[in-house]
Structure 1
Amino acid sequence: MAASTSHVPATRPPRVAGARPRRPAGRFTRERLVALGFIAPAVVLFAVFVVYPIVFNVQSSLLDWDGVSTGTPVGLDNYRDLFADPTFHTTLRNSAFWIVLTIVPQAALGFALAWLLNTRLRGRTVYRTLFFLPAVLSPVVVGIVWQRLLDPFNGVLAQLGRATGIDLLTRSYLSDPSTAIFAVIVVNVWMWTGFSMLFYLAGLQLVDHSVVEAARIDGATGWQLIRRIVLPLLKPTHLALLLLGIIGSLKTFELVWVLTEGGPNHASELMPTYLFKQAFQLQSFGYGATIAVVLLVVAVGSSLAMLRTFGSGFITGDRS
């Protein structure tokens, strides 16, 4: 008699709690290909319009090149010449003036306007539009308008000064080396204060009004309320405007070019205007590329230094 054998059914191994089920290899590959398909256009555009120009600029900065003929390799000679160039030293000083004297007044005036227009002021929507309007205008248009206003012969301010006997209004601010950079800075502040105002208006909407009301109940006056409560809570807005202000200041070109072309005698010269003159007027593309590389390093370096100093609160929304 044959011995009978019992059939034991196969059992699945017990599933570990929390373990994710394994996906089929084909499905995982398809999902990855779909994801790469969506990402690829952005990567290609970034490589073509950002990475390639940077690499091309760095390569060009190592050449003595007029933009047409074959460039001659010169190593780091362009960089040595640039850092020994007194005009470049002037552009660095002017750029530092520009950053400080535009960001601080724009932020202060922008916050003051935002604080005023955040109240129940009648017609505040109209005022908001009027104050923000210069920021949406072309810098070329703004430059032409202010060039006419500041004309020492036929300008509106000059005629008003002669009519009222105020000689201060008849000065040639744009052609005076001692005042040219400051005159352009004033125009830039007028243009971009509304942009800062809009940022602060958005930031004020996020301020916890219960904290403000509690401070008022405790006896905080208007200035104490602003200095000790509101301004600290707007730290992310301050940092965002600071970062945008630094980057915007280092790439300012159109307004300065229309008003003064960097003159007189380089008194209002900034790095972008000096770059344009070297590359496109003097046909020294290698030297211009060197200025562009230094400008990029300054912009990225200052932004990273700011982030390292103040933290990333404006990205994470941390108001501490």
Structure 2
Amino acid sequence: MMRKFAQRYWTTLPCIILLAIFMVGPILWSLYGSLTNMSLTGENAVNHSFVGLTNYGKLFTDGEFPKVLWLTFLFVFFSAIIAQNGLGLLLAMLLQRMPKAACRFVSTTVIAAWVLPETAASFVCYAFFNKDGSFNQLIAGLNLPKVDWLYYLPMLAVILANVWRGTAFSMMNYQAALGDVDQSVSESSALDGASWFQDFFLVKLPMIKQTVVTNLMLITLQTLAGFTLIYVMTAGGPGTNSTTLSVYTYKQAFRFGDIGYGTAISVVMLAVGAIFGIIYIRALNSEKE
């Protein structure tokens, strides 16, 4: 049986081995770690023991966990699924109709936020939303009161920052997809009396559905795992008012030293990502059929 498998998949065998080492291996280690009382320091750092589902029991009785789960949903839904996806599609549509000079300017401006190193982009956002930052300077110019965005509205601030940071990825995906649509299709719909709006939503959008689903899957999983932007801007605070699953995992594992509990949270995050992935893959398969 192993010989048949090797003969059939020998060209992809190196990839399968690498996936097993670098993806399956860490997942199995995380599952094991979540069932132990492993800690960052102290006796349990060296001589940890198996505690079964104790960490999961602690997780689901943790008063902060439902809030963290809800904030993670808000962060992913509004910054990725709604804003990045929607703005990326809108920009790709507009860039098709813009003059070349304007198209280059807009593309360069949007992509600049994406190509910045993540830490640098995070500090830019921190400076922008800070109480004495650029955003409040603009507001003051309109004679409006300053707001400490990172203290009173931290989740809104990190959502807007993530939209600014990540929209370019969706825009480029949709630009490529729309560029592959035959122009004769639009010409035919125009001859039939279709408006620009009808041409896009009734003709072009159904033709790029696979790109839409693929883009949604990629940005959802990327945003779910987002850590640096939130941690640099707010460190998950004040309190836990901007804490997502990735930040909560870090806090429990490395700030409080409870590796076993932090790993249990990461396993839950893995399960959430797997659910999103399954939904999107099923949607992709249904499109292909």
**TM-score for the superposition, normalised by structure 2:** 0.90
Task: Give 2:62's aligned residue.
Answer: 85
Matched position secondary structure for 2:100? coil
How many angstroms does 1:95 deviate by?
Answer: 1.2
Name the counterpart of 2:35. Answer: 62
Give 1:161's aligned residue: 139
Identity fraction in percent: 31
- Range 38-47 or range 296-305, more displaced: 38-47
How is 1:5-24 mapped onto 2 (pairs within 5 angstroms)? none
Aligned length: 279
Shift of 1:39: 5.1
In structure 2, which of residues 127, 131, 148 is the aligned counterpart of residue 172 of structure 1?
148
CA distance in 2, matches of 1:293, 1:120: 46
Q: 1:156–1:215: structure 2 CA closer, same or farther, 3 Å change rule?
A: same
Q: Distance in 2 between matches of 1:128 and 1:100?
A: 24
Unaligned runs of 5+ in 1: 1-28
What is the distance in 1 between the residues matched to 2:134 and 2:12?
54
The answer (yes or no) to whether the contact 1:95–1:249 under 8 Å persists in 2 is no
Q: Letter of the aligned partner of 1:79 in structure 2?
A: Y
Residue 197 of structure 1: aligned partner? 171
Once the two structures are superposed, what CA deviation does each residue of 1:268-293 show, in whole Å capped at 9, x if it has no partner?
Answer: 11000000001111110000110111
* 2:156 pairs with one of 152, 158, 182: 182
**For the aligned residues, what is the CA RMSD?**
2.1
Aligned to 2:52: 75
CA contact (8 A) 1:236 1:313 kept: no
Residue in 2 that maps onto 1:225: 199
Paired residue for 2:271, among 284, 297, 317?
A: 297
Cα deviation, residue 298, structure 1 = 1.2
Aligned to 2:106: 127
Deviation at 1:312, TM superposition (A): 2.1
2:19 to 30, 46, 49: 46
How far did 1:94 drift?
A: 0.8
Match of 2:257, SS state, is: coil
Alpha-carbon distance between aligned partners in 1 of 2:286 and 2:233, rounded to the nearest angstrom? 37
Q: Would you say the 8 A contact 1:99–1:249 is kept in 2?
A: yes
Q: Distance in 2 between matches of 1:271 and 1:219?
A: 50
Q: What one-letter code is carried by the residue in structure 1 that aligns with 2:216?
A: L
Q: How far is 1:148 from its partner? A: 1.1
Judging changes above 3 Å, is the alpha-carbon distance between structure 1 residues 41 and 311 closer, same or farther for their aligned structure 2 residues? closer
Q: Deviations over 1:68-119 (max 9, x none)?
A: 2211221101001101212111111011111210121112211121112123
Q: Deviations over 1:197-226 (max 9, x none)?
A: 101100101212222111111111111112
Q: 1:105 aligns with which of 83, 93, 98?
A: 83
Runs (5+) with no aligned partner, structure 2: none
Give 3-state SS (helix, strand or coil) of 2:24's partner. helix
Letter paired with 1:132: I
Q: TM-score, normalised by structure 1?
A: 0.81
